[in-house]
Amino acid sequence: MKNTIGKVTSIISNLVAVQVDGPVAQNEICMIECEDTKLMAEVIKIVGSKAYTQVFESTRGLKIGSHVEFQGHMLELTLGPGLLSRNFDGLQNDLEKMDGVFLKRGEYTQPLDTEKTWHFIPTAKEGDTVEAASWLGEVKEGWLPHRIMVPFKSKGSYTLKWLAGIGDYTINDHIATIVDSDGNEEKLTMSQKWPVKVAITAYDNKPRPFKIMETGVRAIDTFNPIAEGGTGFIPGPFGAGKTVLQHGISKQAEADVIIIAACGERANEVVEIFTEFPHLEDPRSGRKLMERTTIICNTSNMPVAAREASVYTGMTIAEYYRSMGLKVLLLADSTSRWAQALREMSNRLEELPGADAFPMDLPAIISNYYARAGFVYLNNGQTGSITFLGTVSPAGGNLKEPVTEATKKTARCFYALAQSRADSKRYPAIDPVDSYSKYLEYPEIVEYLDERIEKGWVEKVYKGKTVVQRGKEVNDQINILGDDGVPVEFHDRFWKSELIDFVILQQDAFDKIDANCPLERQKFMYNKILDICDMTFDFKNFEECATFYKRIINICKQMNYSEYESEEYDRYVGELAEAIEERKVA
């Protein structure tokens, strides 16, 4: 079939209008000739015989009348073994194959190594009935099993006519033949293509999340847990610790595969990811964390259209690994830059602007994207999940701006990083009052926490939040009236909230032990702190009160730095009990 061609009729930065001579589709890819190279672009609007395209490269030197050829497909990814441990840009170009300090315009690379062989082990049998996403066999990608599947685009059921035996094959070698109900044969390889803006729905069922994903971060797991297959976002100003928190979560979280989409971040932050991640130790396997990580890189000086591609590329790779029955953690930093790219293209299209000139349908776009995450039951009865955690960089730390507001309507967890906490070195700087997890309202999650931790755990979480809230209110009064201007009971209430803050909410991401806090340890420590909050102590003045609680906090902090249930830990538990008995009212 002959491809549609066209001519460039107008150029507004990355928005290029093309007069076409045949049919084109929304989101179809086209190649625009510019000087001695071809630029990739995507159709974002069609009016009559004119197609408006967003170009993924700089359009400098592009002229009216330039030749355009449409490719007949949407922006697609090549999915197969070899995606992990790689650094891609938003168009899935392998950055390690590109030369020079800056990316050359119009240079596109093969995303996967077509010459490398993989040791294939068949798991299906000839004669089996298969469908889209059915597992045919597996290869080892690092230490993870990489399932070879029937392509997601396959419709209906097929019969597996032939399957390759155990052996070494490249991703383009013929490894299976399937036959449809009409007798048409299709040869399969270990790789397949899939459009990034279409969700992969080759699964049986997608229930509401019903269990939490353990991250090892107390401020999340204890106070505002995120569900496996859940969604959350981290808004915060510059320097509030978003990147360190993401690194910590990616290291400690109960996930098999980590996908990082660096969307429109400053180049120095992306370079930091490239330089730090290969050296991070994976506490689960003892190997390098990079072995189960894929990084999608898009910096702020790249064209805005490539930002949009990068977030969808990250989600599509995550859906691919979820179809293998794996737990995937997708981190996007930052979705604000993606929204800014949407705003820029919307303005160039002269669409009706919404708040702060963002597109009117921004909440719907964000909602559709977040909805692609989730926990699923696959057709073979196995389970897989994508837990999505995005960061938002609101201008000036304003949490009322449109991107934050639109994301709050969609994401179930809200981890607000406060500048005041970051300034006072209270890390992670998650604000305990403003942050929340709506999963604590889910009956399934409540039931899971009752079984996984202890009966009535959610009530204890709300109790701790109340202590922190009351402590904040009392602190405001103390600041206005002075230390001597309020009763000692006010100081007691304030210091109990500080106890929860220092011991539970604050955590040292760079300490070998405190960086990762298992749920059993969180349960023991949180119960211990709540017991102290329920006690009544005898203080003559506010100075005695402050001295006592500082001593308690110091002992508890030393417990956090000690190996759980070790001799040293038990010694601090004894010290804590002695300190409490000295002041406790019988």
Please indicate, yes or no, if residue 442 is contained in any of the structural domains.
yes
Query: Do the Cβ atoms of 344 and 304 come closer than 8 Å?
Result: yes
Please indicate, yes or no, if residue 235 is contained in any of the structural domains.
yes
Identify the weakest region by mean pLDDT among 120-124, 218-222, 419-423.
419-423
Indicate the residue among 147, 176, 191 that finishes a domain: 191
Residue-wise pLDDT tens digits, 314-351 = 999 999 999 999 999 999 988 888 998 899 889 989 99
For residue 484, what are its two tokens?
Answer: 């001597």
Please indicate, yes or no, if residue 106 is contained in any of the structural domains.
no
Burial of 60 (0-12, 13-18, 19+ CB in 10 A): exposed
* Alpha helical stretches, state H, 193-334: 218, 242-252, 267-276, 304-322
Share of the chain above pLDDT 70, in %: 98
Label residue 280 left, alpha or beta by phi (over 0 means left) and psi (-120 to 50 means alpha): beta
For residue 172, what are its two tokens?
Answer: 């383009």
Q: If DSSP codes are grouped into helix, strand and coil, which group holds residue 118?
A: strand
Please indicate, yes or no, if residue 202 is contained in any of the structural domains.
no
pLDDT band for 284, please (50, 70, 90 cuts). confident
Query: The domain spanning residue 538 has which CATH number?
Result: 1.10.1140.10
Phi and psi dihedrals of 476, rounded to 5?
-60, -40
Q: What is the pLDDT of residue 267?
A: 63
State whether 122 and 179 are in the same domain: yes
Query: The domain spanning residue 174 has which CATH number?
Result: 2.40.50.100
Indicate the residue among 74, 99, 131 that finishes a domain: 74
State whether 255 and 385 are in the same domain: yes
State whether 227 and 346 are in the same domain: yes
pLDDT, averaged across the chain = 93
Query: Do the Cβ atoms of 291 and 277 come closer than 8 Å?
Result: no
State whether 382 and 486 are in the same domain: no
Q: Highest-confidence range of 225-229, 252-256, 350-354, 508-512, by mean pLDDT? A: 225-229
Please indicate, yes or no, if residue 97 is contained in any of the structural domains.
no
Query: The domain spanning residue 61 has which CATH number?
Result: 2.40.10.170
Phi and psi dihedrals of 295, rounded to 5?
-110, 125
State yes or no: pLDDT of 300 exceeds 70: no
State whether 160 and 309 are in the same domain: no
State whether 381 and 357 are in the same domain: yes
Residues 23 and 9: their CA atoms lie apart, in Å, by: 17
For residue 81, give every residue at least 6 positions away whose Cβ sits within 8 Å of its Cβ, in sequence order, or none.
Answer: 112, 118, 139, 141, 146, 148, 171, 190, 191
Structural domain that includes position 23: 5-74
Indicate the residue among 448, 475, 504 that finishes a domain: 448
State whether 272 and 382 are in the same domain: yes
pTM metric for this prediction: 0.94
Query: Do the Cβ atoms of 420 and 447 come closer than 8 Å?
Result: no
Indicate if the alpha-carbon torsion angle 480, 482, 487, 492 is positive or negative: positive
Mean pLDDT over residues 175-202, rounded?
Answer: 96
Please give the angle made by the CA atoms of 145, 296 and 140, to the nearest 5 degrees.
15
Please indicate, yes or no, if residue 107 is contained in any of the structural domains.
no
Which residues face 258 on adjacent strands?
A: 293, 329
For residue 469, what are its two tokens?
Answer: 């809230």
State whether 461 and 330 are in the same domain: no
Residue-wise pLDDT tens digits, 92-106 = 988 888 776 667 788
- Tell how strand 383-392 and strand 67-74 pair up: unpaired
Phi and psi dihedrals of 292, rounded to 5?
-120, 30
Q: What is the pLDDT of residue 277?
A: 76
Please indicate, yes or no, if residue 488 is contained in any of the structural domains.
yes
Q: Give the chain's domain count.
A: 4
State whether 331 and 252 are in the same domain: yes
State whether 151 and 287 are in the same domain: no
Residue-wise pLDDT tens digits, 64-96 = 999 999 999 999 999 999 999 998 988 898 888
Instruction: Of 386, 377, 320, give the one whose Cα is nearest residue 148.
Output: 320
Please indicate, yes or no, if residue 167 is contained in any of the structural domains.
yes
State whether 499 and 520 are in the same domain: yes
State whether 310 and 379 are in the same domain: yes
